[in-house]
Structure 1
Amino acid sequence: MFDINWGSIIYQLIAFCVLLWLLSKFALKPLMGVMEKREQMINDQIDQADKDRKAAQEYLEQQRLAVEKAREEAQEIVQKAKKLSEQQGQEIVEAARAEGERLKEAALAEIQREKEQAVASLREQVASLSVLIATKVIEKELDEKEQEKLIAEYLKEVGEEL
């Protein structure tokens, strides 16, 4: 039935070993080298991706801190500007009050001066009219009734002029 040919088996076994040796020497080693290089390249890329991710996270954190700092500085600038504007507004109000007070005092002084001038002018007019009345009274040598009538007329004239 089955006849085993030992020579053929040994020959096939030797051929298989030679083929295995040739494949491992010329095909398997370069293939394994390529696969190891590929594996190393993939590992390097993974490591680089991790480094890049960490660097990106650090950069993102730095940017977040920079934005926060800029926001705080902007808030501080706004607060300073608000205080400055309030201070300037207060100074403007105070200056306006002082100017108003100065104008009021100047107006009161002007009113007082004009009042004094008016009183002085009135006194001069009264004095000149008194002299005029006295002169007329003396010139006419009127009796008492006529003098009173004449004085009343001149006083009436003086009242109309004022």
Structure 2
Amino acid sequence: MNLITPEFGLLFWQTLIFLLLFLLLAKFAWKPILGSLKDREDSIDQALKMAEQAKLEMQSLKAGNEKLLADARHERDQMLKEGQNIANQLIEKAKTSATEEANRITQQAREAIQQEKNQALAEVKNTAAQLSVDIAERVLRRELADPAAQQKLVDEYLKDVKLN
């Protein structure tokens, strides 16, 4: 039964060695171990604070990026609106120019038609006058072939002429 129940001497030496080991560990090992644990805890706290700060910076960067994106969208919309306005102005200007050009061409065509009409009327008048003269000449030749008819015609003209 020696194996189950230890003797007093064995218990004494085991207790003494345990207490010595405990004192040595308390004096030399626990302070560095606790110090390193404290350093580790501080570094973890520092890392958590840095992570929180990084999170705040990321939020501010995200807000800044969203503001920049909103500004860019607003500027893009303004540029598109200005482009649309310029395009509309160009279209209006082109319509106005086309209308003015069409009116000018129409007016020129009317003037050309009027001139050709006047020329045609003048030509018809000249032709009618020439025909009238030709016809009158033939009639006069026939009537003036007789000397008595010639004298009668001269007398009629002299009666029509008024003397001043």
| Residue of structure 2 equivalent to 1:39 | 41
TM-score by length of 1: 0.74
Q: 15, 30, 55: which one pairs with 2:57? A: 55
**Which runs of 5 or more residues in structure 2 are unaligned?**
1-7, 145-164
Listed as ranges, the matches of 1:1-162 within 5 Å are 15-141=17-143
Residue 136 (structure 1) shift: 2.0
Counterpart residue identity of residue 130, structure 1:
S
Number of aligned residue pairs: 138
Range moving further from structure 2, 31-40 or 9-18: 9-18
AA aligned opposite 1:106: Q
> Once the two structures are aligned, what percentage of the paired residues are identical?
30
Report the Cα offset of residue 12 of structure 1.
6.5
What is the TM-score of this pair, normalised by structure 2? 0.73
Whose RCO is larger (CA < 8 A, sep 6+)?
1
- Structure whose alpha-carbon radius of gyration is higher: 2
Once the two structures are superposed, what CA deviation does each residue of 1:110-162 show, in whole Å capped at 9, x if it has no partner?
111111111111111111111111222223349xxxxxxxxxxxxxxxxxxxx
CA RMSD in angstroms, aligned pairs only: 2.5
